Chain A
Amino acid sequence: MTVGNGWTGTLLRVNLTDGTIIREALNMKDANDYVGARGLGTKYYCNEVDPKIDPLSAENKLIFMTGPCTGTLASSAGRYEVVSKSPLTGAIGAANSGGHFGPELKYAGYDGIIFEGKAEKPCYLYINDDVVELRCAKDLWGKNVHEATDMLNAECGEDFRVATIAPSGENGVLFAGIMNDKNRAAGRGGMGAVMGSKNLKAVVVRGTGSVKVARPEGFLKEVANARKMLIEHPVCGEGLAAFGTEILVNIINEVGGLPVNNGRDGASYDKAYDISGENLAEKHLLKNQGCFGCTIACGRVTKVKPDESEFYGFGEGPEYEAGWSFGSDCGINDIAAVLKANWICNEEGMDPITMGATIACAMELFEMGAIPESDIGFPLRFGDAEAMVKCVRMTADAQGFGKILGQGSYRLADKYGHPELSMSVKKQEMPAYDGRAIQGIALEYATSNRGGCHVRGYMISPEVLGLPIKTDPLVTEGKGALLKTFQDLTALCDSTGICLFTTFALGLPELAGQYREAVDSDESDEEILLKGERIWNLEKRFNMEAGVEKDTLPPRLLREELPSGPAKGKVAELQTMLADYYEVRGWSKEGEPTSEKLKELELQDISF
């Protein structure tokens, strides 16, 4: 693999402590072995940072990394990854984002940026092709995402792309994200808090160059095939554009998998339609919106008029996850309130999954009497839309009880004596699918390398949606092998710079085909997929060295039977699936990669 084959060949290394900026050659062997973006960023991070580091210390590093397909004509290839140790989980934190920032960084001539140290005063990184400099961010500090983006565009130019944090990141909200193009998020795991701890407010970039692929003729042939498949696919060509990801609300509810009231009251919500993509499209959708080079365009531009609701406003989203977290998980069917909470999260750079799930946890704690009203300042019951939106605002503003909410549900529930009521895995909140009704997603939550997460191995595809095959969500057999394939393929996809949503229509042959032509590879599909497995095992090794807790689920999912719906009486049968999963992964019964597996993946010499 050589420079020019999907890569610019140059990384920026920015030391915020002494202000030095160095251009260094991309490690092409690692780029080959770890693909790019998530994989390559993680490899750099593991090479350079002690897994036991305090994530919010100056010694930690923060890496922005693109993939070899980012910014090319490949299908929906606008993605980049932010990698660091997560302050929320203590595990490897890798957050993927779309929009236009990643491609712009490559057009400026850089595959990635490694931030080291901590600036003495707030600053931002300015990149205009060859001009790269740290600038004062004194006037930007304290501004939210939209305000800061507008100010930076006014100062630097309207054609600059901006990735920035909000005061949530400055104040150490443990689920603060990094927002680019205003509403696209490297959202989960608190990468914004790491950025804020370094006094780094933003990165602005303008590039006038291009990205070259290795075999243009073959590449364009692969791209044309992939795009045709995407456009003709019922999900990627029609459904996601028309309804966005919120389309899932009704069908997930139908299978009894939409958690209600922090999961306390099961996973069948009788008011699901009110927060669904269909209702959103009918009442509040202005238009859909796509990221760089995307044929899908799943983004929502939404509005609530002043005469419609007290929660009026304008913004983007919500995705399905936020529709659930601020909706049924808080017992709320007021879609205007859901929109408002989501817009605040975008503007204030906070992960809406963790935000909503943390409020839901607080609601349960309040209703059982574990949190006194005096601590919150007002009653906080399920179904109270006004209180829910107020909690989001208080968290963004670091006011009162909002400071506690800003630490996520695990620390909140632990503080009030009931850590078991945090619906989290490895201290990160599980998303919008109940693992009791959908066994495969329970296994994914338990084993995800970044804590409770659906997009490390999206088992909803086979378990509910029949993509690419239909499996029975109520049985455990075979889920280990299926999940391993999904996790490895996702690690590969995330690392190429191509959007994961393309995999609803595309499979390994199309993903590997585009990658192969971009980077000049003659590897087989299976050899390329093995890189995904290598990335997964590297992440796992980091987590082991960091001391991350074992794979498990909240007691509610393991012991409390679902009270109603198609999965009535079910719990997550985790131990059965875990044993199967570890065996398929070639790991020990304790869930650790064996020396044979590490050797097979050429990870035996990785030392931390």
Chain B
Amino acid sequence: MQVKFFATYISVVGQRVIDIPAPSSVLDLLTYLSQKYPEFSTTKKLLTDDGLDMRDDVICMVNGRHIIHMGGVNCPLTDRDVVAITPQMAGG
């Protein structure tokens, strides 16, 4: 499964894209990333303090669809999916 990172998350991971075996859900993916990359559990947290949901200031999309429209963090993942994770952003 491909996971893309945008904005300040690129420097956290050290690369724009990683390939990993698909965890069973978005929650599992975010938990994995929070454990592997310390900043994702300290200064740039992905998960809420109870570890059960994604923070409001994080955007996560699966195949271009925000997870809020796909069952939230319980959205299942497969190896064919492309996930994009970014801090909240705006422009115009």
Contact = CB atoms under 8 A, between A and B. Distances in A.
A394 interface: no
B64 A566 contact: yes
Interface stretch (B3-11, B22-30, B34-42): B3-11
Interface string A565-587: 11100000000000000000000
A273 B6 CA distance: 10
Contacts of A442: none
A245 B61 contact: no
B91 A242 contact: no
Interface in A218-277: 234-235, 238-240, 242-248, 250-251, 254-256, 273, 277
A250 B6 contact: yes
A272 to B, nearest CB: 10
Nearest to B9: A278
A472 B70 CA distance: 10
A235 B90 contact: yes
A468 to B, nearest CB: 10
Interface in A459-507: 460-461, 464-467, 470, 472, 500-501, 504
B40 to A, nearest CB: 14
A251 B91 CA distance: 11
Contacts of B71: none
Contacts of A298: 91
A255 B64 contact: yes
From DSSP, what is the main secondary structure of chain A's interface residues? Answer: helix
Nearest to B58: A234
Nearest to A323: B91
B62 to A, nearest CB: 10
Given A254-B61, A256-B64, A273-B16, A278 B92 contact: no
B91 A244 contact: yes
Nearest to A320: B91
A319 interface: yes
B64 A254 contact: yes
Interface string A401-440: 0000000000000000000000000000000000000000
Contacts of B20: none
A454 B8 contact: no
Given A234-B57, A250-B6, A465-B59, A239 B90 contact: yes
Contacts of A314: none
Contacts of A500: 92
Nearest to B67: A470
Contacts of B64: 254-256, 565-567
Contacts of B4: 250, 254
Interface residues of B, number: 24
Given A466-B66, A566-B64, A246 B91 contact: yes
B16 to A, nearest CB: 7
A123 B91 CA distance: 37
Interface residues on A, range: 35 or more
Contacts of A565: 64
A529 to B, nearest CB: 21
A242 B8 CA distance: 8
A321 B65 CA distance: 22
Contacts of A470: 66, 68
Nearest to A276: B6
B92 A455 contact: yes
Contacts of B88: 234-235, 239, 465-467
Nearest to A463: B66
B90 A461 contact: yes
A44 interface: no
Given A251-B59, A255-B61, A278-B7, A467 B92 contact: no
Contacts of B6: 247, 250-251, 278
B65 A566 contact: yes
B80 interface: no
B26 to A, nearest CB: 15
A458 B91 CA distance: 10
Contacts of A240: 90-91
A567 B64 CA distance: 9
Question: Which has the most chain B C-beta neighbours within 10 Å: A238, A242, A298?
Answer: A238
Contacts of A238: 8, 87
Contact of B92 (A458, A472, A566, A567): A458
Interface string A267-293: 000000100011000000000000000
Contacts of A239: 7-8, 87-90
A460 B84 contact: no
Question: Which has the most chain B C-beta neighbours within 10 Å: A244, A251, A298, A565?
Answer: A251
20 contacts: A234-B57, A234-B87, A235-B90, A239-B88, A243-B7, A245-B92, A246-B91, A247-B6, A248-B89, A248-B92, A250-B86, A251-B61, A255-B64, A278-B7, A298-B91, A458-B92, A461-B90, A466-B59, A466-B88, A504-B90
Lowest 10 CB-CB distances: which A-B pairs, in order?
A566-B64, A245-B91, A248-B91, A235-B90, A504-B90, A239-B89, A234-B57, A320-B91, A234-B88, A250-B6
Given A235-B88, A238-B8, A250-B6, 19 more contacts: A234-B88, A235-B89, A239-B7, A240-B90, A247-B7, A247-B89, A248-B92, A251-B84, A254-B61, A255-B64, A278-B7, A319-B91, A320-B91, A460-B90, A461-B90, A464-B66, A465-B88, A466-B56, A466-B59
Interface of A: 234-235, 238-240, 242-248, 250-251, 254-256, 273, 277-278, 298, 319-321, 454-455, 458, 460-461, 464-467, 470, 472, 500-501, 504, 565-567
